[in-house]
């Protein structure tokens, strides 16, 4: 059984599980799925400041913090207990393209030329990690949620703002992939 868990699974397995999780949350507790709101809950719990954005009953949403803890624990278990010793399979065409724009080193999950502690203190690393992280956080707050909240939960509830946010997320990702990364 352990060997089965260590093997890569088809992406559709996760899709089905996530797809079933959304109605389960709605049916069981009228809860919505999303990760970015947990940061607000954590800030409201740890830093109870006199800021109106953090003045709400975060304890009523504590299930979300348990969910995020489960995501973190599950990630650790997956990376350490069920670790597949084989390197992540990257298509040859993708490797060739990345190498053509100067990305030569590939780590376990990401190109180390872009994402590593050593690159954090370079101009390129600063742009990708620090500035990119700021843009993700700003965009999440501006859009009123993250990709998982809008693209999974919002679209399944047929919410127009989630459709608009998802289109913007995809457009932004495409623009950065094809028009920004090649020139950094």
Residue 164 has pLDDT above 90, yes or no: yes
pTM to 2 decimals? 0.71
- Give per-residue pLDDT as tens, 92-142: 898 888 888 877 777 766 777 777 787 778 887 788 888 888 888 888 888
Q: Which of the four pLDDT bands, split at 50, 70 and 90, describes residue 84?
A: confident
Compute the Cα dihedral for 37, 43, 45, 46 and give only its sign.
positive
Residue 175 is predicted with a pLDDT of 93
- Give per-residue pLDDT as tens, 140-162: 888 888 888 888 888 888 889 99
Structure tokens at 20: 């079933």
- Give per-residue pLDDT as tens, 44-71: 888 877 888 888 888 888 888 888 899 8
The residue assigned the tokens 């990708």 is: 128
Residue 174 is predicted with a pLDDT of 93
Q: Which of the four pLDDT bands, split at 50, 70 and 90, describes residue 73?
A: very high
The residue assigned the tokens 């030329």 is: 113
CB-based contacts of 61, cutoff 8 Å, min separation 6: 37, 41
Residue 163 is predicted with a pLDDT of 94
How do the domains of the chain map onto residue ranges? 1-86
Residue 108 is predicted with a pLDDT of 66
Q: Which of 84, 70, 71, 76 is nearest to 2 (CA)?
A: 84
- Alpha carbon distance 13, 75 (integer Å): 16
Structure tokens at 61: 């949403």
What is the DSSP-derived secondary structure letter of residue 51? Answer: -
């Amino acid at each position: 059984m352990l060997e089965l868990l260590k093997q890569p699974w088809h992406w559709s397995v996760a899709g089905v599980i996530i797809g079933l999780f959304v109605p389960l949350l709605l049916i069981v507790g009228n809860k919505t799925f999303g990760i970015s709101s947990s940061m607000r809950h954590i800030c409201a719990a740890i830093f109870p400041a006199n800021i109106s954005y953090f003045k709400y009953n975060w304890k009523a949403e504590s299930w979300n913090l348990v969910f995020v803890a489960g995501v973190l624990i599950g990630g650790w278990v997956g990376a350490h207990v069920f670790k597949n010793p084989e390197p992540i399979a990257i298509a040859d065409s993708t490797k060739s393209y990345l190498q053509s724009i100067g990305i030569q080193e590939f780590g376990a999950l990401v190109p180390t030329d872009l994402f590593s502690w050593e690159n954090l203190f370079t101009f390129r690393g600063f742009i990708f990690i620090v500035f990119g992280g700021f843009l993700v956080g700003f965009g999440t707050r501006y859009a009123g949620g993250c990709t998982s909240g809008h693209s999974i939960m919002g679209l399944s509830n047929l919410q127009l703002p989630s459709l608009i946010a998802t289109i913007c997320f995809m457009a932004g990702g495409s623009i950065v992939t094809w028009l920004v990364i090649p020139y950094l």
